Structure 1
Amino acid sequence: MTSPQFDTILKGGRVIDPANARDAVMDVGVLQGRIAALGPELKPSAATEVIDVSGHIVTPGLIDTHGHVFQHVTGRFGLNPDVCGVRAGVSTIVDQGGPSLMTLPAFRHFISEASDTRVLCFLSAYLVGGLEGHHYPQLYGPDDVDVSRTIDIGLANRDLVKGIKAHAEIGGMSRWGMAVIRQARDIARGIGVPLYIHLGQLWPEAGKGIDDPDAVIEELVPLMQAGDVLAHPFTRHPGGFISSKTGEVHPIVREAMRLGVKVDVGHGSHFSFEMARKVIEAGIYPDTLGADMHGYNTSAAEPSSDLHDNPFYGKTRFCLTHAMTELHALGMPLDRIIATVTSGPAEMLGMTGEIGSLSEGMTADVAVLRYHKGQFRLTDNSGGTAISDVAFSPAFSLKAGKRFDVDSPVVVQPEALAG
């Protein structure tokens, strides 16, 4: 008896793989956890299992570039990684700034190694990492950063550490100027990874404060280089891409793009349709799409009433596929949307040879998405709205060839948005 050529065939789906400029109905064959073949008619008899995915979109495994999944260690902020990951149709998630040089061993043992999801991190520049979602600004000054030791820890853990996270916003600038950002830059350069910068107010201003929120990004961009990342371009808080003086995209944002700086949505409770429209109408599209779910802004946790004044708190539900729907409503082409959760993140992480495409021989991380048509009403935390005629939701995924069905409470089902 002839051995099967494939463990699994995903049959008849619309395969969209931006890394290979592929958009066609075809089959995907998986063998021993890797992509074995793609073609218009792989023989069902050649597989142990055949899954009919006709009518679905099949993409490389989704990569969420902005999560907060250092559960328990970061307090109410950290979610369960598999709730945000494979149970939500996401193969890989990047924790943005949860672990620090002091807590990275716990992150490795209790989160990355213990999860079905591939969990990586952008290491916090701060000694304490993302405790309680950076709720206490007194823990995040220049005296709370150890540049040389963080470089050492990052270099020793390059399998997990894919970047450095820091915050450039008016609360921090009113306290320390750009001192912490320069330290974070030096750490990133010392490890050889991207610097990922939060934009938009995080902490209350100290003392006199900042008269001009535009000063933050004006002083930040000259410190950045190609491959670094600006997060929250669509933030509803001051200090982002939109100038407080003109109401339009700040000219220095275009200078950042010329430098080769990348843009990550970093959705979270920051996301504003008003700001997003201005940025996209100016011709600036995000390179990657991070959902930025955490315990203050998603249905996976119930934030207590004392957190409602926290700038991270959010009332609207979202997840990675819901954020993809929002990008569609803003006019982004489908292939570019898929690229923000596949090939774009793989490039940001320096992992294009491992994840982010459906090339033969690659790890068989595959997402199978439902593509709903109708009228879907979308709302942000400022009360802004948009209507989309398409909505995405995860059906199931393969992580290294193993199937994971979707049962996560964070997933927004499009049926709840119809009307």
Structure 2
Amino acid sequence: MDDTRYDLLLRGGRVICPASGIDGVRDVAVRDGRIAAVAQTILPSAAAEVVDVAGKLVLPGLIDTHAHVYQYVTGRFGLNPDMVGVRSGVTTVVDQGGPSCMTLPGFRRFIAEASETRVYAFLSAYLVGGLEGHFYPNLYSPDGVDVDATVKSAIENRDLVRGIKGHAEIGGFARWGIKVMEMAAEISRRSDLPLYVHFGQLWGLPESGANGEDADTIMERVIPLLRPGDVLAHPFTRHPGGFINEEGVVHPIIRAAMDAGLKVDVGHGSHFSYRVARASLPAGVIPYTLGADMHGYNTEVPQPAGTPDEHHDDENHPFLGQARFSLTQAMSSMMALGIPLEQVVPMVTSHPAAMLGLSDRIGALTPGFAADVSVLHDDRGRFLLRDNEDTRVIADRLLRPAFCLRAGRRFDADSPILPQAIAA
């Protein structure tokens, strides 16, 4: 008689599931691609396969709230979704503004449906979506926004579209003022979806200069357009127009906005600065979610021998030559800044699930949920981390992905874009 009740048992890891209030050594059992049980002890004989994860972290499948995975269509920005996702230990990725109402059908067919990773999108407010805006800034004018069409697309594709993406940056304001952001906020309100707002210079100024716009005033002009649940991105950006003004002080409106229900997403990427983070954290700017913001300009993408490196041939792009990173590396950076692991884990699990309106299906190790699980190495020692200003930090802990389960199927963390640990 076969007493096997489970397909897979993850045995002896430190399980942290903020949604369930679990933090301790537990066993996690999987059956038919779903979480079957989480308990202090589950008999190994009850499972067809047992994986010893002692000494490792066992977390709900990591959720990257800021990805760029509309491969090819968004030019050099778009990375392969599984390289960013399951092959990096991340089970769910959210493409921030890659698809638009015009290109969403292609995103659904060739990215979301074709990937092993669970993929969602925040729909671009712009008809062109997340093309390489530093080349074509005029495509991001008010004439490039169709409010009615974008609202219609968002509402009709709710299974895939979980929010709207807009940009509040000095280059756009110098060209068109606040009009585009007002249109993005209208799309968000009418579709009843959160608006994710990029802060920090992105496209550069027009030849005529700033046209009287002051980057330090963007934040206080945009926040009144937003609603509770909307997301302020790049709190630790090194670029003008972010959370910190020219005097190096956090804008007073930020704390009030957070108290009123607005959320903060790190959006690590090429923006992240330890210097700015150290000024922001004491002022209460604690991130709610932790998007990695990897894209083809800030991620070293190995190319087959004899082929040109399509990601690094634009010498004028501001993001070239940056440090290699990942979502788990970004988690390590938060810990190096003094945020405890127990506060970092919700940033990549239960909080993103809530941001997406999907707490009933992802972000937790709840029996009956799809078995999305991330297993991480928790290395101790001295490790060198650096940001995009080449500030170097010595961390005593480094998180690295070992493998993940996506709906119960195992994927080893073998992505070629993962950073290598550097001993200090």
Range into which the TM-score falls when normalised by the shorter chain: over 0.9
Decide which moves more: 134-143 or 261-270. 134-143
1:418 is the counterpart of 2:423? yes
- The aligned counterpart of 1:352 is 359
Aligned counterpart for 2:383 among listed residues 355, 364, 376: 376
Is the contact made by 2:255 and 2:284 (CA closer than 8 Å) also made in structure 1?
A: no
Q: C-alpha offsets along residues 105-130 of structure 1, whole Å, 9 cap, x if unaligned?
A: 00000000000001110000000001
How far did 1:303 drift? 5.4
1:131 aligned counterpart, secondary structure? coil
Q: C-alpha offsets along residues 43-99 of structure 1, whole Å, 9 cap, x if unaligned?
A: 001111110000000000000001110001111111100011001111000000000
How far did 1:282 drift? 1.6
- The aligned counterpart of 1:22 is 22
Q: C-alpha separation between the residues in 2 aligned to 1:277 and 1:259?
A: 23
Is the contact made by 1:74 and 1:133 (CA closer than 8 Å) also made in structure 2?
A: no
1:221 is the counterpart of 2:195? no
- Distance 1:211-1:73 versus aligned 2 partners, 3 A rule: closer
How far did 1:363 drift? 1.3
Q: C-alpha separation between the residues in 1 aligned to 2:250 and 2:144?
A: 33
Letter in 1 for 2:101: L
Q: C-alpha separation between the residues in 1 aligned to 2:180 and 2:262?
A: 19
- Distance 1:23-1:135 versus aligned 2 partners, 3 A rule: farther
1:378 aligned counterpart, secondary structure? strand
- The aligned counterpart of 1:163 is 163
The alignment's C-alpha RMSD in Å is 1.3
- The aligned counterpart of 1:403 is 410
- The aligned counterpart of 2:325 is 318
Identity %: 57
How far did 1:254 drift? 1.1
How far did 1:190 drift? 1.2
Letter in 2 for 1:91: T
Is the contact made by 2:296 and 2:311 (CA closer than 8 Å) also made in structure 1?
A: no
How far did 1:342 drift? 0.4
Q: C-alpha separation between the residues in 1 aligned to 2:134 and 2:74?
A: 9
- The aligned counterpart of 2:52 is 52
Is the contact made by 2:17 and 2:365 (CA closer than 8 Å) also made in structure 1?
A: yes
Q: C-alpha separation between the residues in 1 aligned to 2:376 and 2:133?
A: 31
- The aligned counterpart of 1:99 is 99
How far did 1:362 drift? 1.3
Is the contact made by 1:16 and 1:23 (CA closer than 8 Å) also made in structure 2?
A: yes
2:403 aligned counterpart, secondary structure? strand
- Distance 1:310-1:333 versus aligned 2 partners, 3 A rule: same
Is the contact made by 1:393 and 1:413 (CA closer than 8 Å) also made in structure 2?
A: no
1:20 aligned counterpart, secondary structure? coil
- The aligned counterpart of 2:2 is 2
Is the contact made by 1:358 and 1:364 (CA closer than 8 Å) also made in structure 2?
A: yes
1:240 is the counterpart of 2:242? yes
Decide which moves more: 363-372 or 1-10. 1-10
Q: C-alpha offsets along residues 352-408 of structure 1, whole Å, 9 cap, x if unaligned?
A: 000001111111100000000011111111121211100000000000111111110
Q: C-alpha offsets along residues 3-48 of structure 1, whole Å, 9 cap, x if unaligned?
A: 5211111000000111122110010011111111111110001111
Aligned residues: 416
Is the contact made by 2:76 and 2:311 (CA closer than 8 Å) also made in structure 1?
A: no
Instruction: List aligned pairs for 1:15-414, cutoff 5 A.
Output: 15-132=15-132, 135-206=135-206, 207-209=208-210, 210=212, 212-244=214-246, 246-300=247-301, 302=309, 306-414=313-421
Is the contact made by 1:112 and 1:118 (CA closer than 8 Å) also made in structure 2?
A: yes
Q: C-alpha separation between the residues in 1 aligned to 2:186 and 2:321?
A: 33
Is the contact made by 1:263 and 1:286 (CA closer than 8 Å) also made in structure 2?
A: yes
Letter in 2 for 1:185: A
Q: C-alpha separation between the residues in 2 aligned to 1:275 and 1:13?
A: 35
Q: C-alpha separation between the residues in 1 aligned to 2:16 and 2:142?
A: 45
Q: C-alpha offsets along residues 246-275 of structure 1, whole Å, 9 cap, x if unaligned?
A: 311110111211221000010111110100
Could you tell me the TM-score, scaled by structure 2's length?
0.96
How far did 1:411 drift? 1.2
Q: C-alpha offsets along residues 297-339 of structure 1, whole Å, 9 cap, x if unaligned?
A: 1012545665233233342110111111100100111111111
- The aligned counterpart of 2:306 is none
How far did 1:413 drift? 2.9
